Structure 1
Amino acid sequence: MNKQRAKEIAASPVMANVIYNGTQIYIQGVDEKNETARIYPLDQPEKEQEVSLNSLLEQ
């Protein structure tokens, strides 16, 4: 996923269908410098992690 699209999704009040390793996730924020996103699975908000933007897929 590109940096700009990830930022748009993170800022939007509308839920986007974004997948990480086969799991639907929520993007909390984007680190433009490192090209990573702070995410968590929708059903497990306690499992927050930072991942590469390249590993995210919008469906």
Structure 2
Amino acid sequence: MNKQRATDIAASPVMANVTYQGVSVYIQHVDEDNETARIYPIGHPEEEEEVPLNGLIEH
């Protein structure tokens, strides 16, 4: 996923269908300099992690 789209999704109040390694995730924050995103699986905010943007897929 490109960083502008990831930033738009993170800022939007509308939930987008995004997955990371086949798991639906919520994007909390995008680090444009490092091209990473802070995400967590839907319903599991305790499993927060930093992942590369190129691993995120919008459906």
Q: What TM-score, normalized by structure 1, do the two folds share? A: 0.98
Residue correspondences, number: 59
Tell me how large the CA RMSD over aligned residues is: 0.4
User: Counterpart of 2:45 in 1: which secondary structure?
Assistant: coil
For residues 56 and 46 of structure 1, the distance between their equivalents in structure 2, rounded to whole angstroms, comes to 19
How many percent of aligned residue pairs carry the same amino acid? 69
**Greater helix fraction, Structure 1 or Structure 2:** 2
For residues 33 and 39 of structure 1, the distance between their equivalents in structure 2, rounded to whole angstroms, comes to 16
CA displacement at 1:43 relative to structure 2: 2.0
2:25 aligned residue: 25
Q: What TM-score, normalized by structure 2, do the two folds share? A: 0.98
Structure 1: tracts of 5 or more residues without a match: none
